[in-house]
A and B are shown apart, each in its own frame.
Chain A
Amino acid sequence: MICDICNKNPATVHLTEIVDDQMTELHLCEDCARQKSESMESQFGLSDLLAGMAEFSKPASQEKEDATLKCKKCGLTYADFKKVGRLGCHECYESFKKYLGPLLKRIHGSNQHFGKSPYKTEDTKIMQKAVNENSDLLALREKLKVAIESEAFEVAARLRDQIRELENKS
């Protein structure tokens, strides 16, 4: 397929627009697509991709709940996030936790931070320890799940004890 605008390059961007029930299709090469408009570029942008990824794991029955799900702190709804691909404030991470967890995992291949933390020097050590223990705990729970699924019950029992021990400490 050849680009509708320059009629030269192969079309790699396919845009379907619906305005007042009228559907138009445009097939563009990358250059023309970029030039056509910036607003259009944002349509091929990250936000759609992200929203699409978050949708992936969602059971259909929850759809209504999603749209009204709202961050208590900043008022951004999950529908807003799906539209713009940006969260409204740091509390949104808590408000939309059940969707963001799987989304982060899909983007980064992980949903546990290993890295520096901003805690002030005096409480760095304590907090860093908490961070480490928290991630240990998560890793152990993950392993436990795998062990149970593969019916390695001896391993599972050992893991369960380790988890209990860590939980009691905190």
Chain B
Amino acid sequence: MEINDFLNNSSEWLKGSGPNSDIVISSRIRLARNLTAQPFPHWASRKQSEEVLQKIEQTVAQVNLLKNLSIFKMSEMDNIDKQFLVEMHLMSYELAQKKNSNAAMIDPNGIVSIMVNEEDHIRVQVMQSGFNIYEAWNIIDKIDNELAKELDFAFSPEWGYLTACPTNTGTGMRGSVMLHLPALVMTKNINRVLAAIAKLSFTTRGLYGEGTQASGNFFQISNQVSLGHSEEEIIDNINGLIRQIIEQEQQAREFLLANNRPMLEDRVNRSFGILKSAYIISSQETVELLSLVRLGCDLAMVKDIDRRTINELFISTQPAHLQKLENKKLSQSERDIKRAELIRSKLKIK
């Protein structure tokens, strides 16, 4: 599979399906694993890193579950292709910055991806559309068991899986759920919710992970603690917490509908109006307006458009996606024009 095939084959998290997909965009789990044979990536020589990559490539080719993964080596990709995969959440920004002996191995549906020599030798990710964290765990647990048959993972009975950074030691697991919480933001309840989340040792991030700010009312919530609880316990905790947040967002939406419907309809339809008629638009403005249209779609205020189209626009309007669609490098101002064009064509009412 080539990178360009991902353009037509839209990825798992854009489906807009799965449980609670009005509020939950995607559920993800990642596991950090290291080989005993070599130093951790930041401390390994080029030769050692190359050996790690080769070993993992061989293993992935042998494991039935992973046979359909395509291997993308950072040394062979241009910047737009790298950014494209980052925008699809199939690899991290940190991996994209690297060149030697780094690779992302990705399945055609964008459900499984394995990053090699990022912070740890192996970072496996499984993504599911909607609120589906248990299914993500079932899949990744099987993959991990298969990999463990072929590879010697760094592990101690006392401290679990040994990772480059002590914040991941133990299960090496991070479960993340991407939520769309416009009503909690509008009713100014979001800070209260986020403060409660932080108290429970969970972290909140923006659309694009570590260090990014929440934009377009998207919040990514993940566990911080990886040692001292089993994987199942951690997932149960995430599940319980996310359930409560979903409930709060639902209540906030109902409150707005009951008490402030004209304001809501105004904001949703104004946003829709701008998106349908703009000729120049930044990616930031796009995300913010699409967020409101998505809410309108959830509340049946916007009827001519489905959630999948909106989800796809969130990603196809990102810089690297636009450039892949146009098949050439575009400056920022060129992108803003092309972006508006794309949105107008997708939102045209049939």
- Mark A residues whose CB is within 8 Å of B: 34, 41, 46, 50, 73-74, 76, 84-90, 93, 100, 103-104, 107-121, 127, 130-131, 134-135, 138
**Cα–Cα, bound, A76→B164 (Å):** 12
Task: Give me 20 A-to-B residue pairs in the complex whose CB atoms sit less than 8 angstroms apart, sorted by A's number.
Answer: A84-B42, A86-B164, A87-B162, A88-B39, A88-B43, A90-B162, A104-B159, A107-B227, A108-B169, A108-B170, A108-B226, A110-B228, A111-B227, A113-B160, A114-B228, A115-B231, A116-B144, A116-B231, A120-B148, A138-B158
- CB pair B154–A90 under 8 Å, yes or no, is yes
- CB pair A89–B155 under 8 Å, yes or no, is no
- Chain A residue nearest to B232 (CB atoms) is A115
Output the least CB separation between A55 and chain B (Å): 14
B155: A residues at CB distance < 8 A: 117-118
**Cα–Cα, bound, A127→B155 (Å):** 12
- CB pair B157–A131 under 8 Å, yes or no, is yes
Output the least CB separation between B200 and chain A (Å): 12
- CB pair A118–B171 under 8 Å, yes or no, is no
Q: Give 13 A-B pairs besides A76-B39, A90-B36, A103-B166 with Cβ atoms closer than 8 angstroms.
A: A86-B165, A93-B156, A108-B227, A110-B229, A113-B156, A113-B160, A113-B161, A118-B144, A118-B153, A120-B148, A130-B157, A134-B158, A135-B157
Determine the interface band of chain B, counting residues with CB < 8 A from chain A.
35 or more
- CB pair B227–A113 under 8 Å, yes or no, is yes
Output the least CB separation between A114 and chain B (Å): 5
B72 close to A (CB within 8 Å): no
- Mark B residues whose CB is within 8 Å of A: 34, 36, 38-40, 42-43, 119, 141, 144, 148-149, 153-162, 164-167, 169-171, 173, 201, 211, 225-231, 233
Output the least CB separation between A28 and chain B (Å): 15
Output the least CB separation between A21 and chain B (Å): 31
- CB pair B211–A34 under 8 Å, yes or no, is yes
B230: A residues at CB distance < 8 A: 114-116
Output the least CB separation between B166 and chain A (Å): 6
Output the least CB separation between A145 and chain B (Å): 17
**Cα–Cα, bound, A143→B167 (Å):** 26
- Chain A residue nearest to B230 (CB atoms) is A115
B161: A residues at CB distance < 8 A: 113, 118
- CB pair A85–B170 under 8 Å, yes or no, is no
A110: B residues at CB distance < 8 A: 225, 227-229
In the A-B complex, the 7 residue pairs with the closest CB atoms: A110-B228, A113-B160, A90-B154, A108-B227, A88-B43, A118-B148, A89-B39
B34: A residues at CB distance < 8 A: 90
B148: A residues at CB distance < 8 A: 118-120
**Cα–Cα, bound, A109→B223 (Å):** 13
